[in-house]
Every structure is written in C-alpha cells, then in structure tokens.
Amino acid sequence: MKLIIGDYNYSSWSMRGWLALKASGMAFDTICIALREPDTAEQIARYSPSGRVPCLIDDGLTIWDSLAIAEYCAERSPAMWPGEVAERAVARSVSAEMHSSFTALRTHMSMNIRKDYGGHGRTPEVLDDIARIKAIWVDCLRRFGTGGPYLFGQWSIADIMYAPVCMRFVSYGVELDGVAADYLHSVQAHPHVQEWVAAALAEAHRIPYYDAYG
C-alpha cells in the first residue's frame, strides 16, 4: 500500500489522507512529492488520475480523494466512525462540510506549519468560516464528546478532517476559548498529529510564495 502526498508542511489534504491511514492501523509506504516545482504535476500524474494528492494505491486499486481514502480505511477499521447511527450521520455531515466548504479560510489561511502568521488572513469571509467551524466543534463536543476529548469522544474521521484547520488556527493565532480551545490542544497532542508536525518541521523543501507571506 502506497500513499502519495505533497509536502508535510503545506499539504492539508495530504495530512487528512495520511492521518486516516494511521488511524486504520494498516501498514503503508509514503511517497512525498514536493509541491509547486516544475516537475510536480508530472510526478503526481504518475500515480493520481486527478493530478492531485493525496492518492492511495492498494494492490492495483487507486483512490485519489482524501475523504474517499478515509472511507476506504473505515471499511477496514469501522471504529474510525462513531458506532451509533445518529452520531455517525452527524460525523459524516461535519466531515463532508469540511471537505466541500470554507473556501475563504483555505484561500487566505494556507497551511504552513513552520510559520507564524499571527494577525493575518482575517477577511470578513474568513471570520465567517472561523465562526462556523467553532460552532461545529462546540456543538459536537457538547452533544457527543462526553466520552473523550474529541468531537465524538474518540478519535474519528471527523477529527482527521479538521486537524489541518487546527494547524491553521495555530499558525494564524486564531483565538479560541472554552471547549473549542481544549479541543484544539487535544488534536495538537494526538500522537499521529505530532508525528506529522515533526515531519513538517524537519522537511527541507520550501515554497517561497508561502514562506514570504506574513
């Protein structure tokens, strides 16, 4: 099994696919392709029919979307979704919303784990996205998170989908309080997230466009 990803530091979608595989417990090799280089598109196209990462290759099967990769992992490890039907439906809803929404946040608060962008990126649209994300976190934590520190108690695909947002909130100094702040710290402390962050900090590749911002 191979997972093709972009830079640990910059590629938020790659982070989601990688965290999903780690949560599944399945063994896999990682192929990391440096982004925004002259040969990046060519390198990714060797594996991914969409030309995007992450891309999972398992015994001839190719899966080229982060949420699809997470669902594939959950087929092998069902505990990656909440066990109760209603909770699972809400978890899928908030995961799908993360997958398809929050364009302003993605545009103005690009993931860069190594940088401190405190105070930047706060357009009115971004503030709306932040408010919606905080509302999702607070609602899930209060309704379903009583069995543990994560959105549905135990670590799940929903947390994996929002983990890169936590990285953005740290880099851009987004202020949180109460259960939302506690949740962010819990995600930061998760061993798989710490492993990803360590790889990002150790990575040699730089994208000047992103590193110059702020």
Say whether pLDDT at 210 is over 90.
Answer: no
Say whether pLDDT at 169 is over 90.
Answer: yes
Taking residue 59's Cβ as centre, other Cβ atoms within 10 Å add up to 5
> How big is the CA angle at 132 (ends 88 and 52), to the nearest 5 degrees?
70
Average pLDDT in the 37-58 region?
Answer: 98
What is the predicted pLDDT for the residue at 147?
Answer: 85
Q: Tokens in use for 203?
A: 């990575």
For the stretch 76-131, pLDDT in tens is: 999 999 999 999 999 999 999 999 999 999 999 999 999 999 989 999 999 999 99
Maximum Cα interatomic distance, the chain, rounded to a whole number of Å: 48
Q: Tokens in use for 39?
A: 């040969």
Domains present along the chain, CATH in parentheses: 2-77 (3.40.30.10), 81-196 (1.20.1050.10)
* Bridge partners (DSSP) listed for residue 56: 3, 63
Secondary structure (H, E, C), the chain? CEEEECCCCCCHHHHHHHHHHHHHCCCCEEEECCCCCCCHHHHHHCCCCCCCCCEEEECCEEECCHHHHHHHHHHHCHHHCCCCHHHHHHHHHHHHHHHHCCHHHHHHCCCCCCCCCCCCCCCHHHHHHHHHHHHHHHHHHHHHHHHCCECCECCCHHHHHHHHHHHHHHHCCCCCCHHHHHHHHHHHHCHHHHHHHHHHHHCCCCCHHHHHCC
Question: What's the order of all strands across the beta sheet hosting 29-32?
Answer: 29-32, 2-5, 55-58, 61-63
Taking residue 144's Cβ as centre, other Cβ atoms within 10 Å add up to 21
Residue 4 and residue 34 in contact, taking contact as beta carbons nearer than 8 Å: no
Q: pLDDT grade, residue 167 (50/70/90)?
A: very high
How many Cα atoms within 13 Å fall on the side-chain side of residue 78?
Answer: 4
The verdict on whether omega for the bond into residue 54 sits within 30 degrees of 0, i.e. cis, is: yes
What is the predicted pLDDT for the residue at 213?
Answer: 64
